[in-house]
């Protein structure tokens, strides 16, 4: 058998999808020494997702990698390493393979070392901070070309030895401004020029260092704003201007709980946006001045290349989104809109029917008069894969009509469907709808709002109908059946 060269093997290993990569790469470790040396760096590049058993093994390996000089330094500072660490030198310097520095990885290592000593005493907190500092120093000195940094510490990571090499190729960063100060960000801006994805957490004021970091980037493509202090408000004029200056490159925008905290005047400048996600969970419910202002900026924006929209709870923006969609080139593939007090729902569905022929995924609320738009949607959008239709806790007598429309007009591609648990459905309509999928299958059929408890519209008889079609392999899964024995 002809031997694959190293470059081909590396390409194959890296091209494996993330969700299956580790499963297969662990087997590849056992093929031979050459394969093992190729696979280990890939496995250790991003060791974020570990179960409890793997987490302990991982931490034990990392602590075993500590050089003798650092082990002695920790001992001199009254930090005792676990007896489980390996006494012999390891085959690889696993730390050097890290490409993703997650704060929780460092926290896991610290908890592993102090497993039997966790207290709130000042002495312990000082030892914990010292260990955190030394681990970061070790990682930064040995890791080259880190791709992702989760900066959730007050430590000046950018000034540690090796930071220039470690962070020069950084392309994604999460910054928690509760811990990271302006000077640290300014100094990082002198190192990093190629950050593509920037996540800003806990902002409370304009920070010059953050502005410098944004301005220094040559191809900033995505920005996430996240605030947990809903009472803190500010203008953030300089931050907004900095984002606007990057309007030619920014394509992804995510806003978590930022309405009422900052002004969103920069929205109208983001003409190349392809992805927009807004969530106001735990935020303002009433139609305040800040929400009215946000909706105004949204309505006046123009995102012709928009492909995906997600709008979270507490924002009734159906009309504004419809206007936004009407101004696009028709390339939208995904729309997810959730709101407990929905108005103008039909306008949104109508806009999607008219302007989104390639849409694949749609989740939205609809009202009692919107079924005509649902029918048009199914006729016009032949690539629809997933459709979830819900309502704002209103009990409508439209269930049978909706199921009839779905049975008659659903395109072949539509295999994931969710409907409201508040609407009324007769058993005949339920049966006829599921029967219409005989021969092509429903990958999933969910009842929105169902959490394992009785609902207005769904009875034991309805559940039995779903179970019948599940047993006949026409329905592959349903949240209704998850709480019951199949």
Per residue in 59-83, pLDDT (tens digit) is 888 888 788 888 888 888 888 887 7
Do the beta carbons of residue 443 and residue 476 sit within 8 Å?
A: yes
- Identify the pLDDT of residue 78: 85
pLDDT for 35 beyond 90 = no
Rounded to the nearest integer, the mean pLDDT of the chain is 84
Cα–Cα dist 337/317, whole Å: 9
Looking at the chain, the whole-number percentage of residues with pLDDT higher than 90 is 50
Select from 201, 85, 89 the least CA-distant residue to 150: 201
Cα–Cα dist 68/130, whole Å: 17
Cα–Cα dist 62/282, whole Å: 39
pLDDT band at 133 (very low <50, low <70, confident <90, very high): very high
pLDDT for 198 beyond 90 = yes
Model pTM score: 0.85
Per residue in 96-130, pLDDT (tens digit) is 888 899 998 888 888 888 876 666 676 888 888 99
More confident residue, 66 or 483: 66
User: ∠ at Cα 390 (385, 395), nearest 5°?
Assistant: 145
Look-up: residue for tokens 């497993």? 115
Ranges 224-228, 347-351, 368-372, 474-478: which has the least confidence? 224-228
pLDDT for 90 beyond 80 = no
- Identify the pLDDT of residue 61: 81
Do the beta carbons of residue 293 and residue 263 sit within 8 Å?
A: yes
Cα–Cα dist 37/29, whole Å: 8
- Identify the pLDDT of residue 354: 95
Q: What is the dihedral of CA 138, 141, 142, 147, to 10 degrees?
A: 110
Look-up: residue for tokens 């309505």? 299
Ranges 41-55, 69-83, 404-418, 423-437: which has the least confidence? 41-55
- Identify the pLDDT of residue 53: 62
- Identify the pLDDT of residue 29: 57
Per residue in 199-237, pLDDT (tens digit) is 999 887 788 999 999 999 999 999 998 876 555 555 578
Distance, C-alpha 456 to centroid of its chain: 33
More confident residue, 269 or 17: 269
Cα–Cα dist 484/94, whole Å: 45
What average pLDDT does this structure show over 238-245? 91
Give the pairing type, strands 100-101 and 148-151: parallel
Looking at the chain, the whole-number percentage of residues with pLDDT higher than 70 is 79
Per residue in 276-330, pLDDT (tens digit) is 999 876 544 556 787 888 889 999 999 999 999 998 766 788 999 999 999 999 9
Helix 33-43 / helix 18-28 crossing angle, nearest 10 deg: 150
Select from 461, 409, 311 the least CA-distant residue to 417: 409
Do the beta carbons of residue 55 and residue 102 sit within 8 Å?
A: no
Ranges 18-32, 159-173, 270-284, 335-349: which has the least confidence? 18-32
More confident residue, 406 or 39: 406
pLDDT band at 253 (very low <50, low <70, confident <90, very high): very high
pLDDT band at 42 (very low <50, low <70, confident <90, very high): low
Ranges 138-142, 181-185, 226-230, 436-440: which has the least confidence? 226-230
More confident residue, 320 or 23: 320
């Amino acid at each position: 058998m002809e031997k694959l060269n190293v470059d081909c093997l590396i390409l194959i290993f890296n091209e494996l999808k993330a969700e299956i990569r580790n499963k297969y790469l662990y087997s590849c470790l056992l093929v031979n020494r050459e394969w093992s040396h190729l696979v280990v760096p890939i496995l250790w590049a991003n060791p974020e997702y570990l179960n409890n058993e793997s987490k302990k093994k991982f931490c034990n390996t990392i602590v075993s990698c500590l050089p003798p000089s650092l082990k002695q330094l920790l001992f001199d500072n009254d930090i005792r390493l676990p007896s489980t660490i390996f006494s012999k030198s390891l085959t690889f310097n696993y730390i050097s393979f890290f490409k993703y520095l997650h704060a929780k990885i460092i926290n896991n290592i610290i908890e592993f070392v102090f497993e039997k000593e966790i207290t709130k005493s000042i002495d312990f907190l000082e030892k914990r901070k010292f260990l955190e500092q030394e681990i970061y120093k070790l990682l930064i000195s040995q890791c080259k070309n880190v791709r992702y940094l989760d900066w959730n510490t007050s430590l000046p990571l950018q000034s540690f030895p090796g930071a220039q090499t470690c962070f020069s190729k950084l392309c994604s960063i999460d910054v928690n401004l509760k811990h990271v100060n302006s000077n640290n960000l300014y100094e990082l801006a002198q190192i990093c020029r190629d950050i593509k994805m920037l996540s800003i957490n806990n902002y409370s004021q304009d920070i010059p260092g953050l502005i410098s970091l944004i301005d220094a980037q040559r191809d900033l493509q995505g920005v996430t704003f996240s605030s947990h202090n809903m009472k803190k408000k500010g203008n953030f004029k300089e931050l907004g201007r900095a984002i606007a200056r990057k309007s030619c490159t920014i394509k992804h925008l995510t806003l978590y709980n930022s309405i009422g905290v900052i002004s969103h005047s920069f929205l109208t400048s983001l003409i190349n946006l392809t992805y927009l996600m807004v969530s106001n969970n735990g935020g303002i419910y009433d139609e305040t001045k800040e929400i009215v202002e946000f909706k105004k900026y949204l309505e006046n924006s123009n995102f012709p290349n928009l492909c995906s929209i997600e709008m979270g709870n507490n924002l009734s923006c159906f009309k504004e989104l419809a206007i936004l969609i009407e101004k696009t080139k028709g390339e939208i593939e995904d729309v997810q809109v959730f709101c407990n007090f929905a108005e103008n729902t039909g306008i949104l569905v109508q806009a999607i029917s008219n302007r989104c022929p390639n849409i694949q995924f749609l989740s939205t609320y609809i009202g009692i008069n919107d079924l005509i738009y649902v029918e048009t949607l199914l006729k016009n959008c032949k690539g629809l894969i997933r459709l979830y239709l819900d309502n704002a806790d209103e009990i409508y007598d439209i269930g049978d009509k909706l199921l009839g429309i779905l049975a008659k007009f659903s395109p072949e591609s539509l295999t994931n469907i969710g409907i409201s648990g508040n609407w009324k459905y007769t058993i005949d309509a339920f049966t006829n709808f599921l029967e219409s999928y005989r021969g092509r299958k429903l990958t999933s059929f969910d009842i929105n709002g169902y959490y394992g408890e009785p609902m207005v519209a769904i009875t034991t008889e309805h559940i039995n109908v779903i179970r019948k079609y599940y047993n006949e392999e026409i329905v592959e899964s349903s949240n209704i059946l998850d709480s019951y024995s199949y």
